[in-house]
Structure 1
Amino acid sequence: MKKLLLSSIAFVFLLTSCGSKQKGELTGVQGKKWYPEKPYGMELIPRGSFIMGKSEEDQAKLLNAPTKTVTVRSFYMDDTEITNSEYRQFVEWVKDSIVRTKLAILADELGIGPEEGGIGDYAFKDADTTRSSVYDKYMLDNYSGMGKTGYEGRALNKDEDLIWDTSEYPDEYYTEIMDSIYLSEEESYNGQRTIDVKQLKYKYNWMDIEAAARASIKGNKSRKEFIRTEEVEIYPDTTVWIRDFSYSYNEPMHNDYFWHDAYSDYPVVGITWKQAKAFCNWRTKFKNDDNKSRGRQFVNQFRLPTEAEWEYAARGGIEGGTYPWGGPYVISDTGCFMANFKPQRGDYAADAALYTVEAKSYEPNDFNMYNMAGNVSEWTNSSYDPSAYDYVSTMNPNGGDQSNTRKVIRGGSWKDVAYFLQVSTRDYEYADSARSYIGFRTVQDYMGEEDSTQ
Structure 2
Amino acid sequence: MYMKKLFLLALVTLFMYSCGSGDRGQLVGVKGKKWYPEKPKGMALIPGGSFIMGKSEEDIADASDAPAKTVTVRAFYMDETEITNAEYRQFVEWVKDSIVRTNLAIMADMMGETPGNGGIGEYAFMDADTSNLSVYQKYMLENYTGMGETGYEGRMLNRRVDLEWNINDYPDEFYAEVMDSMYIPSEESYNGIRTINVQKLKFQYDWIDIQAAARDKKGSRKDHIKHEEIMIYPDTTVWIKDFSYSYNEPMHNDYFWHDAYGDYPVVGVSWKQAKAFCAWRSKYLNDYNRSKGKQPANQFRLPTEEEWEYAARGGIESGKYPWGGPYILNDRGCFMANFKPLRGDYAADEALYTVEAKSYEPNDYGLYNMAGNVSEWTNSSYDPNAYEYVSTMNPNTLDDDNQRKVIRGGSWKDVAYFLQVSTRDYEYQDTARSYIGFRTVQDYMGTDVTQSK
| TM above 0.5 | yes
Counterpart CA distance in 2 for 1:335 and 1:259 is: 35
Cα deviation 1:17-50 (Å, max 9, x = unaligned): 3332223211111111210000000000001100
Name which of 439, 446, 449 aligns with 1:448.
446
Alignment-derived partner of residue 378 in structure 1: 376
Instruction: Spell out, residue by residue over 1:68-101, the C-alpha distance to the aligned partner (whole angstroms, 9 max, x if none).
Output: 0000000000000000000000000000000000
Deviations 1:250-302 (A, max 9, x none): 00000000000000000000000000000000000000011111111110100
Which residue in the other structure is 1:58 paired with?
A: 59
TM-score, normalised via structure 1 length: 0.95
Matched with 1:255 is 253
Deviation at 1:451, TM superposition (A): 6.7
Residue among 305, 308, 315 paired with 2:306:
308
Partner of 1:151 in structure 2? Answer: 152
Q: 1:13: how far off?
A: 7.2
Matches within 5 A, 1:128-147: 128-147=129-148
What is the match of residue 4 of structure 2? none
Q: How does 1:288-327 map to 2 (within 5 A)?
A: 288-327=286-325
Counterparts of 2:130 and 2:13, CA distance in 1: 34
CA drift at 1:428:
0.2
Equivalent residues of 2:84, 2:264 under 8 A apart? yes
Structure 2 partner of 1:355: 353
CA–CA separation in structure 2 for the residues paired with 1:214 and 1:227: 14
SS in 2 for 1:115: coil
SS at match of 1:91: helix
Q: Does the CA contact (< 8 Å) of 2:320 and 2:421 recur in 1?
A: yes
Q: In the alignment, what sits opposite 1:200?
A: 201
391, 395, 418: which one pairs with 2:393? Answer: 395
**CA distance 1:335–1:95, change in 2 (3 Å):** same
Q: For 2:204 and 2:105, locate their aligned partners in 1 and report how far apart those are by CA, in whole Å.
A: 18
The 3-state SS of whatever aligns with 2:324 is: coil
**Equivalent position SS for 2:216:** helix
> Unaligned 5+ residue runs, structure 1?
1-6
- Deviation (angstroms), 1:109: 1.1
User: Match of 1:4?
Assistant: none
Q: In the alignment, what sits opposite 1:165?
A: 166
| Pairing 1:266-305 to 2, within 5 Å after superposition | 266-305=264-303
Residue 225 of structure 2 aligns with which residue? 227
Residues 189/16 of structure 1: CA separation in 2 closer, same or farther (3 Å cut): farther
Distance in 1, matches of 2:16 and 2:176, equals: 59
From the superposition, tell whether residues 13 and 257 of structure 1 become closer, same or farther in structure 2 (CA, over 3 Å). Answer: farther
More displaced stretch, 145-154 vs 83-92: 145-154
Q: 1:17 — aligned with what? A: 17
SS at structure 2 position matched to 1:104: helix
Q: Secondary structure at the match of 2:116?
A: helix
Q: In structure 2, what is the equivalent of residue 115 of structure 1?
A: 116
**TM-score under structure 2 length normalisation:** 0.96
> Which amino acid in structure 2 is aligned with residue 137 of structure 1?
K
Q: Distance in 2 between matches of 1:11 and 1:278?
A: 57
CA distance in 2, matches of 1:433, 1:334: 39
Residues 178-197 of structure 1 show CA distances to partners (whole Å, capped at 9, x for unaligned) of 00000010010111100000
Please give the alpha-carbon distance, in whole angstroms, between the structure 2 residues aligned to 1:113 and 1:362.
55
The percentage of aligned residue pairs carrying the same residue is 74
* Map of 2:213 onto structure 1: 212
Instruction: Give the Cα separation in 2 of the matches to 1:10 and 1:327.
Output: 76
For 2:421 and 2:97, the matched residues in 1 are separated by 39
Alignment partner for residue 415 of structure 1, among 413, 416, 423? 413
Structure 1 residue matching 2:378: 3-state secondary structure: strand
Conservation of the 8 A alpha-carbon contact between 2:47 and 2:76: yes
1:368 paired residue among 366, 370, 383: 366
What does residue 174 of structure 1 align with?
A: 175
CA RMSD of aligned residues (A): 1.5
Superposed displacement of residue 117, structure 1:
1.2
The answer to whether the 8 A contact 2:75-2:449 is kept is: no
Separation of aligned partners in 2, 1:387 and 1:259: 40
Match of 2:429 among 431, 434, 439: 431
Aligned-residue offset at 1:10: 8.8
Contact preservation (8 Å) 2:114, 2:124: yes
Relative to structure 1, is the Cα distance of residues 13 and 424 closer, same or farther in structure 2, using a 3 angstrom cutoff? farther
* Cα distance, 1:157–1:326 mapped onto 2, change above 3 Å: same
Equivalences, count: 442
C-alpha separation in 2, matches of 1:212 and 1:451: 29
Counterpart in 2 of 1:99?
A: 100
Q: 1:321 to 1:103 in 2, by over 3 A?
A: same
Deviation at 1:402, TM superposition (A): 1.3
Could you give the per-residue CA deviations for residues 282-330 of structure 1, whole angstroms, max 9, x where no partner exists?
A: 0000000111111111101000000000000000000000000000010
Q: After TM superposition, give the deviation of residue 56 of structure 1 in Å.
A: 1.4
Aligned-residue offset at 1:11: 9.2
Distance 1:191 1:312 in 2: 51
Question: What's the secondary structure of 1:146's corresponding residue?
Answer: coil
In structure 2, what is the Cα distance between the partners aligned to 1:75 and 1:13? 48
